[in-house]
Chains A and B, each alone.
Chain A
């Protein structure tokens, strides 16, 4: 039985090298986790009071603007971060795909990297050797697997990483944004394999800014905002709230029907909404209907909740010192 239970979990990062005084000023920033200053060492509350229960067959999308805690939540779900307060209980073999560069050796061949990536994920060398033909076939890298990894393009690296994680039958697959680098045809193939995997006995949590990918892969979604779990429910509801418009609306009817009629037991709890810390839809979502047209241009004034991820510049500009630095920094 595969499941993840998170109860009142907090992830607090102590920032040992920061001056608390200068950090106090940044508390006014709206991007990133809440920065507490009541202690001697300043702390970034990257995740606050997360309650979540995921079960077998769930395919969950993870949305939220930069620094909202998506990556940190993925790391919490993978067991890399044990919560500073609260509890997590993870049952099942976890396979995280966060950063495609980590753990890869640029000078050795693709084959060797496949095996090493497998070792990282708890496989033995022998087990990986048995899977290598399957991976070679799936990734379509062919003879390229004998070339050193530094000759690979980003898309080829994504293929390799996806090939490994989908071949080892993980029970919990955690994907961070970045797999969008592959071409559409391969994505179609990977999608089938991922859905297949989840249907066999797994769970998928996928952080992405791309509506298209989310709609293809996920059935439910989590909206993270400022380190808090704002909403958890069916994908369409969450995306509508988050974006301020219904992304499914614009789809051609045939595609909508195809997405709706997706195989698999992903829709096991439709309509079940998690009571987030603030149950009401965020201020950004509230006036979303009006702002939808201008969203892409970055015009209008973004609601305090930040209702769009696509506008990049504005949002990420204020991100310094927030949860984003804590989650992605120190590489």
Chain B
């Protein structure tokens, strides 16, 4: 008969034994994470496949991502720099970087909520760790981020002369931004921590959303509001410029101080645009990361095995 010509024994990338005594244990939750990470070839392929499918048969392909980001950033940059009376050469990089980082954060929530709902078919047909699907979402968003990053590079190259020295975003603003330099490399740990958070958000919000189908709708409905509430098109400077220095510690600052998304934005945007970065942002981000992962692990422990029932 057709004996298989195997030249290499099949790997045991999957756990050899599925023992449902582990159903509601942390061991099961960590096992899922570990097995998911090991299936790197699978989720990286699936992430790419999502991108390719979306742009199939179009001439520019995934570069539409880059192009649409470029158009948006340029349009918004020109418009709002005039409205706020800001200098185009520093304002366009500000809004571009903010916008592309925001995209990653918001899409992590938005698409993370749909992670398991969209993969319902696969979840019911193949015994794969949940983490694979969360990583698929995060990887897809990372690919989009990298495509968008080309716009940042172009914009920074164009306005480099104004960015590499201290500048004020808005004339007469209180904060003097230090300008970009070697310290801008701090954006790398910033991005790494952003990715790390993308994974737990996909897992946690994804699991909750499979059970409560109103969650994705809710996230969808507040996403535009969050965009305008977070300093992306406007800057913290414009608050102080309008209300004076005494407002800088008042309730008006709460809109960004108590907005974790602002801090996530800052740890990437500030280094990349040479803006001023408060250490508070890093503290907030690290706390959110730790708490988020702990909650996610508990939810994974209790409801990991339920997801295939709920989808």
Q: Which residues of A contact B (CB under 8 A)?
A: 11-14, 16, 75, 78-84, 87-94, 96, 98-99, 102-103, 105, 107, 116, 119-127, 130-131, 133-134, 137-138, 166-169, 189, 192-193, 196, 330-331
CA distance A90 to B13 in the complex (A): 15
Indicate if the CB atoms of B23 and A122 lie closer than 8 Å.
no
**Chain B minimum-CB-distance residue to A117:** B126
Q: Which residues of B contact A80 (CB under 8 A)?
A: 123-127, 308
Q: Which residues of B contact A121 (CB under 8 A)?
A: 126
Q: Which residues of B contact A (CB under 8 A)?
A: 1-8, 10-14, 16-21, 23, 39, 41-42, 45, 49, 53, 56, 120-128, 211, 305, 308-311
**Chain B minimum-CB-distance residue to A194:** B1
Indicate if the CB atoms of B2 and A193 lie closer than 8 Å.
yes
Indicate if the CB atoms of B125 and A98 lie closer than 8 Å.
yes
- Residue pairs across A and B with Cβ atoms less than 8 A apart, 11 shown, are A96-B127, A102-B126, A105-B49, A107-B53, A121-B126, A123-B13, A124-B11, A130-B6, A193-B2, A331-B120, A331-B121
Indicate if the CB atoms of B16 and A92 lie closer than 8 Å.
yes
Apart from the given pairs A80-B308, A168-B10, A192-B1, 5 other A-B contacts in the complex at a CB distance below 8 Å:
A82-B23, A96-B126, A103-B125, A127-B8, A169-B10
CA distance A121 to B132 in the complex (A): 13
Given contacts A119-B41, A125-B41, A330-B311, contact A130 B124 (CB under 8 A): no
Report the minimum CB–CB distance from B115 to chain A (whole Å). Answer: 15
CA distance A274 to B6 in the complex (A): 38
Indicate if the CB atoms of A169 and B6 lie closer than 8 Å.
yes
Contact of B6 among A79, A120, A131 (CB under 8 A): A131
CA distance A80 to B12 in the complex (A): 18
Given contacts A105-B49, A124-B13, contact A99 B309 (CB under 8 A): no
Indicate if the CB atoms of A123 and B10 lie closer than 8 Å.
yes
Q: Which residues of B contact A116 (CB under 8 A)?
A: 45, 49
Indicate if the CB atoms of A131 and B121 lie closer than 8 Å.
no
Indicate if the CB atoms of A131 and B4 lie closer than 8 Å.
yes
Indicate if the CB atoms of A89 and B17 lie closer than 8 Å.
yes
Indicate if the CB atoms of B7 and A130 lie closer than 8 Å.
yes
Q: Which residues of B contact A14 (CB under 8 A)?
A: 309-310
Report the minimum CB–CB distance from A110 to chain B (whole Å). Answer: 15
Q: Which residues of B contact A105 (CB under 8 A)?
A: 49, 53
CA distance A102 to B121 in the complex (A): 6
Given contacts A13-B309, A82-B20, A89-B17, contact A120 B4 (CB under 8 A): no
Indicate if the CB atoms of A89 and B20 lie closer than 8 Å.
yes
CA distance A75 to B56 in the complex (A): 33
Given contacts A92-B16, A99-B121, contact A119 B42 (CB under 8 A): yes
Contact of A107 among B5, B19, B56 (CB under 8 A): B56
Q: Which residues of B contact A88 (CB under 8 A)?
A: 18-20
Indicate if the CB atoms of A196 and B126 lie closer than 8 Å.
no
CA distance A331 to B5 in the complex (A): 36
**Chain A minimum-CB-distance residue to B23:** A82
Most chain B CB neighbours (cut-off 10 Å) among A120, A122, A138:
A122
CA distance A192 to B4 in the complex (A): 12
Indicate if the CB atoms of A81 and B308 lie closer than 8 Å.
yes
Indicate if the CB atoms of A82 and B305 lie closer than 8 Å.
yes
Most chain A CB neighbours (cut-off 10 Å) among B17, B19, B20, B123:
B20
Q: Which residues of B contact A94 (CB under 8 A)?
A: 14, 18, 127
CA distance A123 to B309 in the complex (A): 26
Indicate if the CB atoms of A79 and B127 lie closer than 8 Å.
yes
Given contacts A13-B309, A80-B308, A169-B4, contact A91 B16 (CB under 8 A): yes
Q: Which residues of B contact A75 (CB under 8 A)?
A: 124, 308
Indicate if the CB atoms of B4 and A122 lie closer than 8 Å.
no
Q: Which residues of A contact B21 (CB under 8 A)?
A: 87, 89
Indicate if the CB atoms of A103 and B122 lie closer than 8 Å.
yes
CA distance A93 to B15 in the complex (A): 8
Indicate if the CB atoms of A127 and B11 lie closer than 8 Å.
yes
Indicate if the CB atoms of A79 and B8 lie closer than 8 Å.
no
**Chain A minimum-CB-distance residue to B24:** A82
Q: Which residues of A contact B305 (CB under 8 A)?
A: 82
Report the minimum CB–CB distance from A129 to chain B (whole Å). Answer: 10
**Chain A minimum-CB-distance residue to B13:** A122
Q: Which residues of B contact A131 (CB under 8 A)?
A: 4-6
Indicate if the CB atoms of A120 and B17 lie closer than 8 Å.
no
Q: Which residues of A contact B5 (CB under 8 A)?
A: 131, 133-134
Indicate if the CB atoms of B126 and A103 lie closer than 8 Å.
yes
Q: Which residues of A contact B42 (CB under 8 A)?
A: 119-120
